[in-house]
Structure formats: C-alpha cells, structure tokens
Structure 1
Amino acid sequence: MGPTEPTLDYHLWQIHNIQYDRTNLQTLLPGACQKIPGAIVNAFGALLQDAHEKEQTGDFCVFSSRLTLIVDGHVPDNGPGGSFKDLVMSAWCIPLCSGLPAHWVLGWVDFGSREIGIYDSVPELGSSYWAELMLLRVIDRIREFIKSPKIEWGVEKWKRTLCSPVELERQLDSWSCGLFVMMALKSFADNLDHCQYVRDSLKGDIQAGALQALLNGWIIRESRPPMEVAEPETATIHLDESDEGSTELRTDMDVGELNSQGGHDTMAMVDVSTSEFKDHLTDEEGSKGKRAKAACGPRKRCKTLVERKEALENDSWTKTVEPHRICCEGCNKWYDLNAKREYDATNWMQHRAKCPRITGIEVKRIAVKGMKQGRKFRVEKGRL
C-alpha cells in the first residue's frame, strides 16, 4: 500500500514516450472516483514491462492503447505520443477503450497457443464484441509492419477467451474499469491467476501501488505549485429607511477611515473612469472585431472528437469530463456543454474566463431602489 495522503508535485513525468502529470495522478489518490486516463494505464503497463525486462522474466510485450487511435485514423502516425513504429517496438498486450460510456478492457494475443483474449470487468456490457474487432485490427497492422503473413481470422483456428472477475468481485461502480485493467495487466505480466488477483476488493491496493510507482518515474520537467489566489472579497450593502425619510447605507466590508466632514473626500478617491476597463470601448479607442480579424486569415482545422476530449481532459481546471457536461476543479460545479456536439469546449471556456476560483475576481451587481436626489447617506464601518 502507498501513503495515505501522498503529495503530488507540479512536475511532468515520462516513461518510454508516455508523459503524465499531476492531473493524471489525481485519479489514483485515495478516495478518487474518476475513470483512469489512458496516460496512467499505458504508463503502468510500461512500468511492468521494464520491471520484468530487468529481471529477465519478461516473455511478453504490453502495447499502448494509442495504437488503436493510430490504426483507426483518429490521430496521425507521427504525432507527439509516438509513431506506430515506436509503439510496436515496445508492446504486445493492449489496453482497449471504447463504447458509450467509455469502458476499459484488456486485449491480448498468444501466438504460441493461438489464443486471443479479452479481460472485461463488466462482461454484461458486451464490450468483447467491439474489443475483439479492435484487437484484431491492431494485430493485423503490427504483422503488416514486421512483414509477417496476415492471419486469416475467419479461416484459421484460433481460440477465443473472455475473462472476468468472479461474480461477487466484479466492477460495482461506473468508473473503476481502468483499475481492473491495471490489475489484469499485472497478473498477466506476473503470470498469476487473474481470478485471485483481479478483484473489486483489491482495487485500492493497485490504486495506491500504481500511484507510488508512477511518482518514482523520471521527471522531465519540474514545476512549482501555482500561486495561491486569495478568496475574492465581496460586499453586501443594506439600505434602511428611517421614519424621517433619510436613507442609511451600511456595508459589511471595512471601508477604512472616512472623512468626518462628509463623504465628498471619500468619494473623490474612487476612480470611475471607464477607460480603465479593457472590455470598455470609449470614443477615443479604436476597435476591430474578431470577425474582421478572422476573415483575413485561413480557417482553422476542426478538431476531431478525440482531440476535443483530450484538450478538455488535459485542462488543469477540469475535474471530470463527460461528452455533454464538465465539472470545474475551481468551484466544484457541473456545467453543460453543447448538447449537439460532444466535448465542445465553448461553454467551458466562457465559464473558465469568469470563474472566481480560477480568476480570483468576483463581480457582484447591487441594485439600489428608491434613491432620490437630495437624500443623505451615512456609511458605517464593519468587517467581513
């Protein structure tokens, strides 16, 4: 078991060509209930591969789940996550993720026993159908790359195996499928009985163990924690009508020492020039709309669904990302995304630009009713 409350630094780690950061590792913290991202599943598989190669006990390979994205054309072959050649040279057991909602399974191939298999923590979902097709596509591409004859899957005799935990130890929630794949990876690498070592009761152990192992990985960029943003100050103004018709203005904020002769000197200290605000255009300021600028340049390439999803998941202020809604790490609230387009970031970027927990600024509008010219105001000092 790892430490109860490990400290996550703001670094960037790497094993092979797989990079992961604090945001990815947060899914392994005690009590975390988020689906494990591909970076963590693949990095864990790479750790197992390296450990067995050092002990000279590794007669297997672990493939990266990124291969499925390359084979199906979702990401370019020469992308930053590694080319097909780079990934093939270091893998032979493949974590697979697909379906709606997204679900992790483990696929493998054993050429010695002519067996292909799928490990699924929730077999009732029927994920083995899409998983086997995905697995065979990747195997065909690998054999094509190494100049091996193509396997005629429909003609040649290959054993199909579907494995899952015992019924009372299967996945009981909606998020821990990645942990089950990591347990299955470890039992596969250690040549252990999956029925004994892949269980719902052991997912806390793999969560803590993987976190500790990944924290010991190679740091490729060190970062300092971000500066803490002070809680935004807010003021509440109360208007009290007295019997004489005068109005009493009270504020809950400490307004400092006021001039005893009246409020004119105090009000003079407030600069109400609108030109100080960047979003306000005065008569002296020129303007050029975004549409005019956009019309002068080429159109940007539309992002694919996978790219949109990765961009949201890699945002440091997103806590949980779903196709049509998102949870903010700052205010811990859910916000709807585009109902007709999955992982559309437009609504999220609007919230991100004005979330007080992210920007450190909170704006409150206070409407004052019933004020008439000539009324006197008295300001009382108070504290928040």
Structure 2
Amino acid sequence: MIIYDDIPTLDLVAHELHELFGIRDVRSVDLLRGGYLCKNFIIETHADRFFLKQYRHKLSQVVSQIKFAESFFASQGAPVLLPMSDGYGRSAFLMGQNWYSLFPFHNAQTKNLSELGSREVRLLGEQLAQLHRAGAGISDQIQPLLLWDKNRFDLEVVEIERALNRQPRLNRIEQMIKQMLEKKKRFVSNQDSCRGRTLPYDTLLHGDFGYQNVFFSEDGERIESIFDFEKTARGPRAYELARSLFVNCFEDGWEQKNIDLAVEFLTAYYKQYPLSLEEFQLGVCLYLTNLAHQTWVEGKVLLKKSLDYLDLLETHARRIDHLTDDIDALSVTIFQRATRTETATSLP
C-alpha cells in the first residue's frame, strides 16, 4: 500500500523545477518501486531525465545532515552521487510538505543479490573501510545513531500482538510475524545490552551501506557511485561494519558460501582499516540487538496492510531465525579467517 498523499502532482513538480532549476517542459513524474523509507521518482522532460528523491524526514535539520554527509564524503574522494544545486545553491528543497533532492539520471544498475560474488563483496568491504577512515573523528554536531529503544519496542509489540489476536485464524504471513515477535521478545528479555559494553560514537556512518545503494562499473571492477545517505549518523564503525557484512553476505542464507563471502568482505575491510576481534564482536552484538528491537517491518505489513514490504519481511525473518545462534563463535571464525588471510598475504 503506497500512501499517495505524498506523491507530488505533475503540475507542482513542473512549477518547482522550473522555478528552482530552470527546467522546462516536465512531461511525466513516475514513482519507482522500492525505496522503503523514502519515495523515488523518474522525471522526464522533452530532452532529459532526472531522478527525484523525496525524503521521509520532514525536518530540515535531519535533511541538512544527509546533505552534509554526501558532500563531506565526496570531498574526501568517495564516489558519491551528488544532487544538483538549485538556483539558490542548495542541494535540497521543500515541495509541499516534503524535502526533495534532484539528481542527474544514472543509467547504471545496482547488482542483484544473486550477482554478488567475491569480487563485489571485496569492493564493498574496501569502500566501507575508506568511508570509515574518512569519517573518523567527525564533529559532535552530527546526530548520534539510535541503536535501540526498549520502551518503544515494548509499546509497539503490544499493538502488533493485539492485531494478531484479533484474527480468527492466522495466515502464513501472520504466523511468521508471530514467531518473529516471540524470538525477538526472548532475545530482548535475555539480552543485557551486550554485557554493558559500548563503543565510541566517533565515526560518520553511511547508515545503509550495501549492494542496493551502490552502482558498480560496467566491467564490475570498481564501485562507480554511492548513494542513499538517509540513515547517516555518528556512531561506532564496528556496528556499521557488522550490519553491512550481514546485509551483503547473509541476505539469502547462512550456508558455507555465505561465510566465505563474509570472510572476503572483512578481509578487504581489515586491509584498509584494521580493528580488534573484541571490537568486531561488539559491533556484531550491537547490530543483532538493534535488529531484535526493530518492529517497523511487521507494523507496515500487519498494521498498515502494505504488500510492498512482504519481500523485506521475508528477509527480516531469515535474519531473526539466527538470533539465537552462537554468533560469537561465527564472528570469531570469520575474523580469524579474514585476518589470517590478510597476514598471510602481507608476508614476503
């Protein structure tokens, strides 16, 4: 279910793009599927095409930090896909009730999960390390990452359970949601917030670094563009390293091939920006605890009746299935193989 109230009319888009960018003859505004936390549109004129991003955040303060992250990483040499500037020199503008950015249209395609191999995950690991090195020691003015909120989790779980209890008989999706909630509640109740340990919030994070948010070059030898900084924040790099490793390497399963990809990813990252086993393990713990506290996907499907989130719900369920696994042992295995590989390749 798409909330069409937030889709701008053709007349509004044509007026604003003409006034702010001098763009004439806007002929169509087409909503792209995907983009779970924002809306994306293709704008067509008589001669050109553009990419229009609508941000979910209504506050200019949050949008300005997204724009800061884009420009900062670009200034450090990262291949960031930068928005166009309007007639006032801004990279974002208000249209109706939402903030937007306009980007030049990019013909490249993102990789599908099935297309990710050793080469791609190595490139992703290297690029993430380079972002983290550039973002180290970033100013406290950047909003800190909110890893989880136990009170919010408790509030939302009750509403989802009430919705499930109103059903006379649960279908497959509702059964899946019920099972996920039970696993999350057990994990959250037994978890002592990573044994009270934490990490410095000292790095500017991309926030959602993964194969879905980069363009690879046509020959697959490099990352051509990075985009979608909507979740940018100041936080622990080991958290984003763990999150990106699981998203890029374990999205479709937890088999040996997935572990091998994770080793490739971490080897590439470690070569650029080393960290300790303890830091890596804590990053994994922070990521899994964050994951266990998330209920927004279940809420979209069950409470909002949105079929657009079913694929994401299935992926989320696969991750939650492994919350009770011995993740510490898996983390040690991946880290030791990755660092052993790096040590071996460094020897004469």
| Larger-gyration structure (1/2) | 1
Question: Normalising by structure 2, what TM-score?
Answer: 0.23
Q: Which has the higher contact order (CA 8 A, sep 6+)?
A: 2
| TM-score computed with the length of structure 1 as normaliser | 0.22
